[in-house]
Amino acid sequence: MPQPLARRRAAAAVLTAALLVPLAACGGGGGTDDGTDAASKGAGSAPKAELTVLAAASLTDAFRVAGAAYEKSHPGTRITFSFAGSQELVSQVRQGAPADVLVTADTRSMDGVKGETGTPAVIAKNRLVIVTGEGNPKKVDALDDLGDPKLKVVLAAPEVPAGKYSEKILDARKITVKPVSQEPSVRAVLSKVELGEADAGLVYRTDAASTPDKVDAVTIPDAQNAIAEYPAATLKDSRHAEAAAAFVSWLSGPEGQKILRDAGFQKP
């Protein structure tokens, strides 16, 4: 028999808490409990609230900047991020984790919880690159090189969006890769290469750009690549529906889009 909703949410909250990455409030003023209280709104501003945003791991750096910028321009609003592989975020939503916004690295993951969200909006796109150790010591120049059995390759797991995109482009060229590991997020793939535990891996262009002093990135031609889309949506169980919608809208607006472009994401 299914667990009562309250118990389900309590259990999910414990799982989610370990992943939450809070941002210090900018501009003073703490959030309020009720994000839709008209008395808490400033003139012409979004309602004040404490928002929890579940976001794909590859958005970590860009969203930390975005969150700080949003808090600064919306005094009284605080944003807490939970970064993980999209499949993990979807699992949290299904378990009733208390959150306000979901942003995944593919439309398929978002579609898997369409009954739990508002209408998604694609806020950014991305592409894969081959990431290698600094200086590219193994001289990896193209996708075909990943099929070399002597090369230690790490990939995202098949259920992770980056893993799905990787499988798609490798299969299209009939390249057989036996990865030394399959990781739960694209950031975990990047970490394996940074630490020298793998010679190469497939990550998003923005991930490779986040640590240019530790890894090299090998461009994959567009004709051989896959385009990753990042949809954002409010969660129907959000206690701060209006504030959550305002943040999603902001991500699609000029300031949010500039931050995403500066981080290397492509236009939606």
List 227's β-bridge partners, or say none: 127
Report how far residue 232's alpha carbon sits from residue 53's, in angstroms, rounded to the nearest whole number.
10
Looking at residue 5, what is its pLDDT? 41
Question: For domain 127-227, which architecture applies?
Answer: 3-Layer(aba) Sandwich (3.40)
Looking at residue 257, what is its pLDDT? 98
Range(s) of the chain covered by CATH 3.40.190.10:
5-125+230-262, 127-227
3-state secondary structure the chain: CCCCHHHHHHHHHHHHHCCEEECCCCCCCCCCCCCCCHHHCCCCCCCCCEEEEEEEHHHHHHHHHHHHHHHHHCCCCEEEEEEECHHHHHHHHHCCCCCCEEECCCHHHHHCCHHHECCCEEEEEEEEEEEEECCCCCCCCCHHHHHCCCCCEEEECCCCHHHHHHHHHHHHCCCCCCCCEEECCHHHHHHHHHCCCCCEEEEEHHHHHCCCCCEEEEECCHHHCCEEEEEEEEECCCCCHHHHHHHHHHHHCHHHHHHHHHCCCECC
Tens of each residue's pLDDT in the chain, 268 residues: 444 444 445 444 444 444 444 443 333 333 334 434 433 444 345 567 999 999 999 999 999 999 999 999 999 999 999 999 999 999 999 999 999 999 999 999 999 999 999 999 999 999 999 999 999 999 999 999 999 999 999 999 999 999 999 999 999 999 999 999 999 999 999 999 999 999 999 999 999 999 999 999 999 999 999 999 999 999 999 999 999 999 999 999 999 999 999 999 999 9
Looking at residue 48, what is its pLDDT? 79
Report how far residue 161's alpha carbon sits from residue 251's, in angstroms, rounded to the nearest whole number.
21
Structure token pair of residue 37: 């209280």
CATH class of 5-125+230-262: alpha beta
Q: What residue type is assigned to position 220 of the chain?
A: I
Looking at residue 47, what is its pLDDT? 64
C-alpha dihedral, 47 to 53 to 59 to 61, nearest 10°: 70
Contact 20, 227 (CB under 8 A): no
Q: What residue type is assigned to position 169 of the chain?
A: I
Report how far residue 249's alpha carbon sits from residue 73's, in angstroms, rounded to the nearest whole number.
14
